[in-house]
Amino acid sequence: MQPLSGPSSPVGGNRAQPNGPTVPAGPGENQPLTPAQRTTLEKLIVKIMALTTMKSPEIWATLRHDLAVAHDSELTTSQFPRAESLLQGKLSQAQDSHATRQLMQQLTELLPLGNNRQAVSDFIRQNYGHTVLSQLSHAQLETVLVSIQSREMTIPQPQQTAVMDRALLPAEQSSLQQSVAKLSAATGEAPAKIWQELFVMVGVKVGEPIPAKHFQLLTQFAQVKITVSQQNSPTLTTMLSVLKQPATPQEEHRLTEFVATNFNATADTPLTPTQINDLIGILFNQRVDRSPRGERQDEELTRVARTEPKPWGNPFIAMLPASMRASGGTSLAIVLFLVIVVLLWLVI
């Protein structure tokens, strides 16, 4: 007979045991992850990566650390439930953080518009006891956003600065030029056409210095047009919501009537770019201050009041020659004194 191929087997109790188990492990023992289990975990990891800056190796390493598994060891079927639960928790946290970031981004875009920043600060202080957005919960941020979008939040009037007749300072001129450049880029209008519109609005000839009292108005005008040009379907309501200086009831009523009469529309009807530009022009042309009175006139009135006081003999001053009126009561007193001296001399 041919010997059996392979090593001979010892007889009796000295039989050597195989290196590995001869019976497959049960479902609760340390078997490697099944393809279905690995796919489940990988899908969760992909979702986490989409919402965070973490990469797949980093997430796997964190998962092994949380499971107290060596970094070079593979997960087993017995560890799968715990691993899935940990990844589900990380995904929930990532989803909450992502939603909160979106709310913060929306609020950040709204804060510079109008006097929204002050309104939000007042609202948070009154309702939550502080004024820091980052300290708000997701639900609180939602409340703030809904309140400001629905215009339920009280928007305080911005503080008005003193009217000035001086020309724009170099920094103000540069800032206005930047606003015109941004408006041109947003709407496609030529900068020269925008400048002409600004000069006409404030009643100044093209090329002449623009009074500083118009700086804020022109800057707000450009900012409103830039913001509205980025809206897909602008309406009168959305236009009013981006005003730095909120519209008064009279202004809102006038614009609403204009929309109804000229466009056959309501405050929430989508308008064309031409129509929305007409509304912006009407509003800001109504707000512009074209009165000539300013600091120079105030100074002139002060100078006149100081150099031409009303003396006790005011009715008689008008009777004096023009050359003597400038000295006012002094000339009159001299004349009266001379008359009295002559009369006394004649009597004596």
pTM greater than 0.85: no
Give per-residue pLDDT as tens, 206-264: 778 888 888 888 888 888 888 888 888 888 888 888 888 888 888 888 898 898 988 88
Q: Two tokens at 151?
A: 């215009």
Distances (CA, A) of 193 to 140, 188, 215: 45, 11, 18
Q: What residues in the chain have per-residue pLDDT under 70? A: 1-29, 114, 131, 154-165, 289-333, 335, 337, 347-348
Q: What is the DSSP letter of 137?
A: -
The secondary structure element, H or E, covering residue 116 is helix 116-128
The answer to whether 201 and 239 are in contact (CB under 8 A) is no
Q: To the nearest 5 percent, what fractions of the chain are helix, strand and coil?
A: 60, 0, 35
Confidence (pLDDT) at 314:
46
CB count within 10 Å of CB 286 equals: 12
Closest CA to 227 of 73, 66, 109, 56: 109
Closest CA to 187 of 223, 150, 236: 223
Give per-residue pLDDT as tens, 292-303: 444 444 443 344
Distance CA 204, CA 137 (A): 51
